[in-house]
Amino acid sequence: MKMILMALLSLLIFVSPLDNGVGLTPPMGWNSWNKFGCMINEQIVMSTIDTIVSSGLAKAGYTYVNIDDCWAKSRDENGKIQPNLNSFPNGMKIMADYAHSKGLKFGLYSDAGYSTCCNLPGSLGYEEIDAKTYEEWGVDYLKYDNCNSDGSSPKIRYPKMRDALLKINRTIYYSMCEWGIEEPAKWGKEVANSWRNTGDIEDNWKSMLNIIDSNNYWADYAGPGGWNDPDMLEVGNGGMTTEEYKVHFGLWSLAKAPLLIGCDITNMSEETFNILTNEEVIAVNQDPLGVQGKKLDSVDGKEVWGGPLSNDCFVLMLLNRGESPAEIEANFEKLGIKKGDYVVRDLWEKKDLGVFSESFKENVQPHSGILIKLSPK
């Protein structure tokens, strides 16, 4: 009988879906980890806030400024989390207030374990105390990792922080970084606004494609208010070519992934800025229909990815994963696109390519992709 009651209680955790009013489109912003790791401090964050506004990134839609692991140091006698004052001498609230004064939002990181992945204080057992602290500081986004737990299921630990966040008088976007341990796409939408399905991305072509392939498996589970998260962007960190970074950004956009910049935006190249601020590609990511694009066709490294957009439009990427140029064709009927005449627009070049009714094909360079939008004529 005891085992039956425990099973029923575990099911009750997931009765109420998360309805906190945020994440109706994928979040856009910046996160410190991919570039800075534990070498993050107040000066970097403040400079990033200034640059997001002055560079035009905020105007392009990037609003969250998120500090990842290594900001916390300890807990006081009342259990309240304390920042590392060597790196953040003025605490967290002053940075949140500064972000808000610039029209931006502020995010922090914690962990559904006793300690974070860098062995700093986690939130397991302190969920309500931490949620109230985030409210006090003005936090808008919480990335919640999965290291150093008590061995219990993520399905038990992650809803505890959800419930704590719902009790406070502040709306916080809840990003569940569970790594795909227990297939979070199947239950994440009742718990969080987004959920990681994979391990960490690395700044190279192979890792990026492996990550998006894994994320693709769960495409049907995503939608407004709850998104599959294939990890943060590596665009601008130097491990890929410009064309590879365009593929990276294009795939994340059509997959409706969170667009969280992971480079040093205070020192980014013009190529990086142009990729990150292409308004037509961003519009694909932020399309209100909220349908995650998928891998639709794949033969010998020649692939077609895509999905529907609002107003009967469609987005496609002709992706060449191979090492030599290849002609790639998108057959509309085969891809499930309803019959009709479509204006095809190259989203990177920002130009119309003509009207097509049955298919579109193009010669694609290696490690490159052509991103197009189909609009009914």
Catalytic residues: 145, 200
Burial, 286: exposed, middle or buried (Cβ in 10 Å; 0-12, 13-18, 19+)? middle
C-alpha angle 290-100-192 in degrees, rounded to nearest 5: 35
Is-contact 336 309, C-beta < 8 A? no
Residue owning tokens 């072509």: 205
Cβ atoms within 10 Å of 172's Cβ, excluding its own: 24
- What does the alpha-carbon distance between residue 320 and residue 328 come to, in Å, rounded to a whole number? 8
- What does the alpha-carbon distance between residue 264 and residue 91 come to, in Å, rounded to a whole number? 22
Token couple for 152: 């219990």
- What does the alpha-carbon distance between residue 243 and residue 73 come to, in Å, rounded to a whole number? 40
End-to-end Cα, the chain, rounded Å: 64
